[in-house]
Chain A
Amino acid sequence: MAECCSVLSPHEQRIQEEIQGKQNFEGRERVYNILNSFNTERPKIDIERAKYFTESFKQTEGQPLVLRWAKAMKHIAENITVYIDEHQLLVGRSGYSGRYGILYPELDGDFLDVGIEELPKRVESPFNITQEDADVVINEIAPYWKGKTFHESLTESLPEETFKLTYDPENPLMSRFIVNETASFRSSIQWVHDYEKVLKRGFKGIKEEAQEKLEALDPLSPVDNAEKRPFLEAVVTVCDAIITWAKRHAKMAAELAEKETDAQRKKELHEIAEICAWVPENPARNFREAVQSQWFTQMFSRIEQKTGTIISNGRMDQYLYPYYVKDVEEGIITEKEATELLECMWVAMAQFIDLYISPTGGAFNEGYAHWEAVTIGGQTPDGCDATNELTYLFLKSKQEFPLNYPDLAARMHSRAPERYWYEVAETVKEGSGFPKLINDEEIIPLLLAKGAGFEEANDYAVSGCAESRMPNRDTYTSGCAYINYAAAVEMTLYNGKTQKTGDEVIGLETGDPREFETWEEFWGAYLAQQTNYLKHAFIQQHTIINLRAKHFATPMGSALHDLCMENCIDLHQPKIEGGIDLGYFECIGYATVVDSLAAIKKLVFEDKKLTMAEMLEALQNNFEGKEDIRQMLANAPKYGNNDPYTDTIAKAVDRESVKFTSKYSKELGVHLDLRLVPFTSNVPFGKVVSATPNGRKAWAPLSDGASASQGADVNGPTAILQSNFNSKNYDYRERAARLLNIKFSPSCVAGEEGTDKLVSYIKTWCDLKLWHLQFNIINKETLLAAKEDPDKYRNLIVRVAGYSAFFVDLSSDLQDDLISRTQHETM
């Protein structure tokens, strides 16, 4: 029986209080002052990074790329404006005050001039730019990069058939959203640095290592001279660059301190000056220095290159813990002060926005998406539970100060202490979508199978939206292919064509489906289309892998990587001795495909309630006047209900994909594993797919990640977990992340009893070895109200796809997509 009284989540309650003007900042005045200074403003574009990067590149043509990159970093570090924000304890930003994004012309500078003019008008994640800055971009930056960018190289290098599935032939700026490449809007996929190395050795220590290696080079060796020397010189230069940048902050803080009249702030500025003069050059001596040193490192990394989804933060509760414990024991810092410092970092993060110039990149990352994953919990390298007091402090901070930064990722394993399960569940119940849960029981065995040792597998860090990284073992970093599996269904129905692209045959001609006599025949045709996409995705990746090293270098990223330092080679090089290349390709529209195939199998071939011709006619007309047929299709078996009928098909779709990659990854020398994580791309990918046999209307969003089609999981939240389990191929190691969204109404998890059951639910998810899980605990009414009245709900945070965003920052399409996902109720 239902407890039917409506229950608000704490997050909803807070929003309601804000609407009534009751905000409680007590104890958090500093971070709220910072937050309120920028929160409602549209982000601005800052061009300085692009400007100085370009200036330097103009000067260094002909030199080894890694060295050019390091010199560009040095030039930026010496010239970029230095900021010290009011109220802030941490310093280090790469752009204007408030929310800002920076430019990476080396990626897609060829259309920077066009892109810049479009950005303020864009529906998804718009940005503002001043006319003065726009002029610099158009007249000084963009022209230099014409003919030099990665995007252009790629469009020129792709074979014709692959190109046709990748870009609009008329306009290579536009993706076809069929076999979509992402390498031209990010120079690498998600990544985590070994921050601990910086904290323990400082950049001085790393520089000294490079200098020693330089001295030890064989002066007669061609490889040492032509490859290793420039790499090591680049490391020395980039270490100098970040130290220079930090010291400019120290100088500015000291100057400001002299002028400051407020005694408290004066003291803080002196401290900042002292800290920045010491770190990241030297090893951190205390918690505050450790946090500042880490912040400089990640900010400089953001300046260095566009890491997909923003550089992740690694296992913060592990590498900061020794400093925290020592300081608390010695009475240098209190828990409250440590929390404040961390929250200063969260509000600083919230100002750096991942800016995508290309419309494709923008559509992938709605609501100013960001996945700077802060990992907590999990296991120690020797396999013990890793939770500590700092782990709980991160959770507490998220409960009490539920900003959508940082993206918090909780590693879960079956032997975690009860307190951890419960505090994670309590934080989930807060209702702003944190933390996301990542499962050790799935990931560690897979890392082992892919070649890692126990120590490094146990020590993995969550990276980006749902992935994992071993910062000194992983190497592969190309942006990966996103494949529109739903378009493969459409091409099966229209013999290699789609409704969107008309008469052009872009897939395979697998025959007129009206002439198929058996389900097996249809399935065979579908599979041929799916495999054709995979074929071209892999050709695309092959091209990308070989091009990448000619366009990108990451001297700082490489300086922090054991293998790069050992081999004196940049992380962007395709093959690094001792490394494991973990990439992936993405299936978009998984449930849309499975449900479509199930409906055809059942209604057309088994029950014969529909003929293929009737169904096709209804689809071609987008069900216009054919609502009865749409209903039949919509009521056919659906994935996500623990129904073997659909789950078997789901498993086969998965299996054929992993079989393909199992064979051809070896040739590529890169693990390209199957992943089901959409970002927000299920929306733009849906816009190229006409009506599908699951009853979905034309151009509507596809299903997201490994979740059921919107509203199709009617058997409760246990069934969706089991359908996921049933549809995975545990005999293959070619599995990457599967992202799973679950929406509960707050009443479903209310009270102590609700927490108990949520904990049991999460534990079972862990037992089922599913990769990822995230929750939206919110009333549908709240979402509807926020859509209606965005101003009031400015601070409403929702879980989107591996990240949380302000609901009102999302496009109307994506808002509707979120609203239409099934909400599980208490029964």
Chain B
Amino acid sequence: MKSTRNWLLIIAIIAIVAILGYNYIYQDHRNIEKEAPTFTMEAQDLVSEFSSDPTAAETKYLNNTIAVSGIVTESSTQSITLNDKIFCQLSQPAETTLVQGQSITIKGRVIGYDDLLEELKLDQCNPINN
């Protein structure tokens, strides 16, 4: 009687370890859309921070979720550019493009500073309605 109970206990432990292990190995990706932004700021402030010291700014913002408000200078179904210098790649293709010159707030993840074009790049971006 006691040995069956022990066996059941061992099997239960193995099952729990297996489930935990599986969930660890096949965990979900970060969901930037649902994350609260670490930084919320104006596009022009962000741009000036990157133009004065790209390396320090990159270290500060890299891999963080930010919400940035600016003016649309370029828009396609795949991406939105704010203030000429912040390139936001959308998480899903948009159905419509935005009018240039309109103000918008975008939330996304900073993936780094592009030296070639002197642009900041964000991925998994979503416009925020406010």
Q: Are A and B subunits of one complex?
A: no
Interface of A toward B, CB cutoff 8 Å: none
